[in-house]
Chains A and B, each alone.
Chain A
């Protein structure tokens, strides 16, 4: 099946610094979803990108889908301690039945 590779695996930042995580695939993705999981919690849906070159913003979070639909990124501007957690990208198969997750980027924010 499809594989999505996510980098970096870990990221430590000082509060106020920016953060970016990348999701890459060797094949064209039908769509991409992003999730956030707080320590000890469960994944929570953030957003879905479907169109080539799509850019969506949620306050300090910016999500991009590559023009070739083979990569995606999540950028957080001016991180806060509330941003701590693991961010996952996930691709849904064309049939809509299976969700394949990247390995996640674990973000820690030093106050």
Chain B
């Protein structure tokens, strides 16, 4: 049982480049979400999805796009990377209705 798998683990981008952070879960969870974590600021919700075909914005959605074509996958796209997007990104999943949330191991992104 792999749980929540994120790739890549580390990435360096140049300003203006685009990229996609991949997230997959094998637990048949309906709810998936993306967080970013910056020093001293805890975890902030970027986008979330309550099921295939349904996505919604979180607290800090600007500069990011998501899609949910399958239950298993929830990729996060950076459209035009900016230094302010340097952060650690976590994907998470759970059954809807407040069950235990499982986090991926994180993706460390640096934008130069």
A4 and chain B: residue at smallest CB distance? B42
Asked if B56 CB lies within 8 Å of chain A CBs, one says: yes
Interface size band for A: 20 to 34
List A residues 42-63 near B (Cβ within 8 Å). 42-45, 48
**Chain B residues with CB below 8 A from A43, complex form:** 43, 90, 103
Q: How far is the CA of A74 from the CA of B45 in the complex (A)?
A: 23
| Interface bracket on B | 20 to 34
Interface residues of A in 92-109 (CB under 8 A from B): 92, 96-104
A22 CB-CB contact with B under 8 Å = no
Query: For chain A, what secondary structure do more than half of its interface residues adopt (helix, strand, loop), or is it mixed?
Result: loop
A100 nearest in chain B by CB position = B45
Which A residues are CB-close (under 8 A) to B102?
45
| Chain B residues proximal to chain A, CB less than 8 Å | 31, 33, 35, 40-45, 48, 50, 56, 58-59, 90, 92, 96-98, 100-106
